[in-house]
Structure 1
């Protein structure tokens, strides 16, 4: 991912962003073809503090052929974005631009066996259930066994290891017109623009001692 230092998040903020979104696009390359799949992303840590991603795709998905080869892969996790017309800066002499938030995760694929695949699915469901439904105690065991086994038979699990995280949060850093831009974003009937209004005023990349190019 192309980025600049002033658009980059600290490591902890990148991890928090990925876990908050929990969805991205996995890209692999094999047999002369690029494969992409949008899917849930579960960024976790080993007991030694090493980051990894646990996930799965449909068995019919051609990208699963490469999971057992140790091939490189990339996951892109996107946040809010919007086109910004010149007028939103309070002037007509600015070039229109695009605000966006993205984290890219690169690493090495490893195929999961059936035991680890099921465990990873259960961990992902447990985390998302508790985050989405207050007090949820729902588990995969509540589905009749023959149905859950049939579901698991039709997916292929993977882990992405040896991770490298990069980020690009283009939020008008150092360009001026921030208050006018934030007001225009807040005026829109759009939750993504409301989130960007907050981020442009206090970018998570902001470092007052770092010069902005």
Structure 2
């Protein structure tokens, strides 16, 4: 992913962003083809403090064939985005652009055995359940055992290890017209634009400079 220093956010913010979304596109290369899959993802720490991403794909997915070889792979997690017309900058002499937030995580794929796959599925479900339903106590154990085991047999778990992170939060940094842009975004009823209205005024990037 192409990025610039002033579009990059600190690692803790990248981790928070990925954990909040918990969904991205995994890409890898196998047998002369690029394979991609959109899927749920769980970024967390191992016992030694190293970060890893856990996930799974359907066993019928051709991408699963690549996992055993431990290939390099990349996960892309996207946040809010929008097209920006010139008028939103308060002038007609600006080139239209696109605002967006994205984090890219690259590493080495490692296939998971049945025990670790189940563990990772349970951990992910538990975290997302508690976030989606206040006070939720639902667990995978509430599904009839034959259905749960059938589901687990039909997926292939993996972990992405030895991680490298990149981020690109393109929020009009170092450009003019920010106040006008934020106002135009805030006038929208679209969730992405409302979120971007806040972000362009206070970019979370490491070297953000005043750009009003």
- Inter-partner Cα distance in structure 2 for 1:211 and 1:86: 20
1:49-90 deviation digits (Å, cap 9, x = unpaired): 100001000000000011111100000000000000000000
The answer (yes or no) to whether the contact 2:109–2:160 under 8 Å persists in 1 is: yes
Question: Partner residue of 1:24?
Answer: 24
Question: Partner residue of 1:105?
Answer: 105
When normalised by structure 2's length, the TM-score is 0.97
Q: How many residues of Structure 1 are paired with residues of Structure 2 in the alignment?
A: 211
The answer (yes or no) to whether the contact 2:46–2:52 under 8 Å persists in 1 is: yes
- Inter-partner Cα distance in structure 1 for 2:17 and 2:189: 23
Question: Partner residue of 1:121?
Answer: 121
Give 1:1-213 correspondences, 5 Å limit. Answer: 1-207=1-207
- Inter-partner Cα distance in structure 2 for 1:200 and 1:211: 10
When normalised by structure 1's length, the TM-score is 0.97
Runs of 5+ in structure 1 lacking a partner?
Answer: none
SS of the residue aligned with 1:62? coil
1:77-112 deviation digits (Å, cap 9, x = unpaired): 000000000000001111110000000000000010
- Inter-partner Cα distance in structure 1 for 2:201 and 2:210: 17
- Inter-partner Cα distance in structure 2 for 1:28 and 1:45: 23
Runs of 5+ in structure 2 lacking a partner?
Answer: none
- Inter-partner Cα distance in structure 2 for 1:22 and 1:114: 22
Q: CA RMSD in A?
A: 1.3
Q: 1:207 offset after TM fit, Å?
A: 3.2
- Inter-partner Cα distance in structure 1 for 2:206 and 2:72: 31
Runs of 4+ in 1 over 6 A off after TM superposition: none
- Inter-partner Cα distance in structure 2 for 1:55 and 1:206: 29
